[in-house]
Amino acid sequence: MIMEELDCLGLKCPRPIIELARRIDTLADGDQILIMADDPAAGPDLVAWCRMRGHELVSSDPPRFVIMKRS
């Protein structure tokens, strides 16, 4: 399992989601990505994005979010 990091601190939504969508395609199934995002909308947006895309939100402790890629 690989843990990638994505620094989105200071970026306003939807930029953290856009950056995540670009990066997640480089990961293998089961890899995780740590996203640092301090926009208040990031948490709810990441929950919805994971649900729509079939990925798993492993932890949500703003500003730290961990997502596991699922194929």
* Residues designated as active site: 13
Structure tokens of 1? 């399992």
Structure tokens of 36? 């640092």
Structure tokens of 40? 């208040």
| DSSP category for residue 44 | H
Helix (H, G, I), strand (E, B) or coil at 66: strand
